[in-house]
Amino acid sequence: MQTRREAYPRFNQEAPPLEIPEGCEHVWDWFAQVSGSVGRVRDGVCDPIPPSEWLAWRNLTGEIVHHWEQDALFAMDIAFCDEMNKELEAKRAAHEDEIKQRGKGKK
């Protein structure tokens, strides 16, 4: 499976810089594990990971998650959804423009 970061070159884009604070790499790994295993987009909108999924992941892995780590995971999820929703909206707008352009060509 390819990460979003790895996919940027396919779209002739450069991935934004990734800065993971020292000692927090595990939180990034946790986020990737859960985010990659949950369907996120419904009706064209990226939704946050439900708390039940985080609980299920913790129960399955036995990971001990401190409050600051959970706060970081939730913040990462909100940021991910915000960026995904911008991307989804841009794709919708581009698709609508394409349809309009096709319609103009038929007249």
pTM reported for the whole predicted model: 0.76
Q: What is the pLDDT of residues 45-56, one digit of tens each?
A: 999 999 999 999
Q: What is the pLDDT of residues 12-45, one digit of tens each?
A: 677 777 788 888 899 999 999 999 888 888 888 9
What percentage of the chain's residues is helix, strand, coil (to nearest 5)?
Answer: 65, 5, 30
